[in-house]
Amino acid sequence: MKVLMGAAGAVIGLVVLALLAVVGVVISDDNASAAETTDGGGLTGVPTEFRKWILKADDACDVQEMTPALLAAQLWQESKFKTSKEEATSDAGAQGPAQFLPGTFATWGRDDDGNGETSLWDIGDAVMAQGRMMCSLLKKAKSSGYPGDVRGLALAGYNAGWGRVEQFKGVPPKSFANGETFDYVQLILSTMARFRGPSLFTVSGSGAAADALRKASGRMGTPYAWGGGGPDGPSKGFCDGTNGYIDGQCVASSTIGFDCSSLVQYAFWPKTKLPRTAAAQYGATSDRPVSRSDLKPGDLLFWSHGGSGSIYHVAMYAGDGNVLQAPRTGRTVEVAPLTSAMPERDYYGATRP
């Protein structure tokens, strides 16, 4: 990209979706609208060495409009996933796979890959830096009140600088900079679809646990709503003074979705009528504990503060080291690695419902 006003690139966000021996992926018609909005965490058409960092950068951002497909399309526009200095250095001096100017990278870059060096040429460092920058711009776009797709506003800020978005009170028009920013936004938004992977997965096998996991997988991409959801499906949530907020605004009361325990309750109902909260679900199944080395798809996993306090989260084991969960406000029902679904120190244990 040709960088305007000092903004640069960097892509793509985060965790998840190694799909198991047990799991294969499909889109569900009844969830198409949610998948279209959030991509359901799916990702395809991305080089292997970028995939991990794209998913990780996405997971690190609590803005729903941030998706792996958005970041992948942006990276494609920036560098076509190129990493050599010959192929990934622009006339404007932007460098690396995420096309950062060195000064901009100094603000957003970290040693995310842990190799002892913070470099805009390292895939992990570059992708995570782009994720941070885009996450910040998406938040600005959402609070700006400017018309148009907030993703387009954020992309325009990335390309031309947020000052230009403020100047035009939206995406700069074609008359600005020979249409470079306008075209940049349109091209990325139009190519997102090619990077959207299947958002849902199917589960082989039979029995109550497999049926429950299969049922829950049909809700991938459904928004998280604190206090929302139940045996009949997703519903509006509520805010309780602590939970259900983003940037101080209550979003749960206007969001139709699930929280962690209502998703589990919905999945097993009516064959197994689990109680509503994560703590109560642990209490109802704690007489059937399962060691971490013995986990099977459909087992329930629990987290508590410090691994010994009150239980605050429940997820379903999806096989191959992954869990299916409704993670937190601002996210959607997803598949994530067990090791990073919640803080590792908070892992409490597992049960077999």
Which string of b and e fits 9-47 if b means at least 16 CB within 10 Å?
bbbbbbbbbbbbebbebebbeebeebbeebbbbbbeebe
Q: Are 183 and 168 in contact (CB under 8 A)?
A: no
Given the residues 64, 99, 250, 313, select the one marked as catalytic: 313
- Helix then strand then coil, in percent of the chain rounded to 5, is 40, 15, 45
Helix (H/G/I), strand (E/B), else coil: 94: coil
248: tokens are: 């101080």
Q: Please say if 135 is a catalytic residue.
A: no
Q: Please say if 305 is a catalytic residue.
A: no
Whole-number Å distance between alpha carbons of 210 and 204: 7
Residues 6+ apart with CB under 8 A from 33: none
Compute the CA torsion angle 179, 181, 186, 191 (nearest 10 deg).
120
Given the residues 99, 260, 265, 281, select the one marked as catalytic: 260
Given the residues 64, 77, 130, 325, select the one marked as catalytic: 325
Q: Please say if 260 is a catalytic residue.
A: yes
Instruction: Find the DSSP H helices in the chain.
Output: 32-38, 48-59, 68-79, 102-108, 123-144, 150-160, 162-168, 180-195, 208-217, 260-268, 278-285, 338-341
With CA atoms as reference, report the closest residue to 230 among 208, 255, 261: 261
Residues known to be catalytic: 260, 313, 325
